[in-house]
């Protein structure tokens, strides 16, 4: 009786072990091989160094835009965009960069950190996909803040031909955005010479088009509405820009 009892008691355990062994033998799952992440896209980095050549005209934070041909910050003889108007009258590049980022021809944008004082300079980095380099150009824009609506910058400078370590230097003149009369009154000048409101949506310049700037006249030269002095006058060029490809 003892052996019969022991045999019957072990039967369920043996059956379970056999089922487990059978199940393991029929497992058809393939081993999972980890998939490595895709490498990051190749990028190209450029440094844009802007120097203020004026005597008493701080430059507003520089707007830097890398783009294909067909986009432009402004064109001589045409009306300024709403974003350029804000930059030209108040020195704020936020709306201009938003306009650029919404354009399919724009690859990347960047902004200077602060105004650039007379004789000062700032270097701004901008990074673009290497796949976008063919045909790529670069433009910048800034306001001469002791004016009503004077701007300066470079327009559509070719980047695609620059190899790593190459540089190109350019000078830029002053332009009138055509969005505000050049009263030279402190109430309408946002820079330290005026401390006025700067940007205003009401355009009061009948020209309403971008043109070369005729320069500051100043109270020293008999302009009765002017709160500027001869110190705020400027000659062209007003900036130097050096573009260097870093990698």
CA distances from 230 to 119, 150, 163, 198 (A): 17, 16, 43, 21
Per-residue pLDDT tens for 212-230?
999 999 999 999 999 999 9
Answer whether residue 30 shows pLDDT above 90.
Answer: no
Let me know if domain 43-245 sits in CATH 1.10.150.170.
Answer: no
Answer whether residue 11 shows pLDDT above 90.
Answer: no
Would you list the domain boundaries of the chain?
A: 43-245
Interval 149-177 mean pLDDT: 97
Half-sphere exposure of 120 (CA within 13 A, CB side): 14
The two most distant CA atoms of the chain are separated, in Å, by: 131
pTM score of the predicted model: 0.84
Answer whether residue 134 shows pLDDT above 90.
Answer: yes
Report the range of poorest mean pLDDT among 52-56, 90-94, 158-162: 158-162
């Amino acid at each position: 009786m003892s052996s019969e009892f022991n045999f019957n008691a072990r039967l369920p355990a043996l059956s379970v072990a056999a089922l487990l062994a059978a199940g393991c033998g029929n497992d058809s799952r393939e081993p999972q091989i980890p998939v490595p992440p895709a490498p990051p896209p190749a990028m190209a980095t450029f440094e844009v160094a802007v120097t203020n050549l004026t005597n008493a005209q701080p430059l507003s934070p520089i707007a830097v835009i890398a783009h294909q041909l067909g986009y432009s910050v402004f064109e001589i003889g045409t009306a300024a965009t709403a974003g350029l108007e804000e930059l030209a009258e108040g020195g704020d590049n936020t709306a201009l960069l938003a306009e650029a980022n919404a354009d399919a021809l724009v690859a990347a944008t960047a902004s200077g950190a602060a105004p650039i004082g007379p004789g000062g300079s700032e270097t701004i980095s901008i990074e673009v996909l290497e796949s976008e380099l063919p045909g790529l150009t670069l433009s910048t824009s800034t306001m001469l803040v002791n004016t009503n609506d004077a701007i300066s910058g470079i327009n559509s400078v070719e980047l695609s031909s620059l190899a790593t370590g190459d540089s190109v230097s350019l000078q830029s003149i002053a332009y009138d955005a055509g969005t505000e009369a050049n009263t030279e009154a402190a109430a309408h000048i946002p820079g330290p010479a005026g401390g006025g409101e700067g940007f205003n949506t009401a355009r009061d310049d009948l020209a309403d088009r971008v043109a070369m700037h005729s320069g500051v006249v100043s109270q020293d030269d008999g302009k009765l509405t002017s709160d500027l002095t001869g110190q705020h006058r400027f000659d062209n060029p007003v900036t130097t820009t050096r573009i260097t490809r870093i990698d």
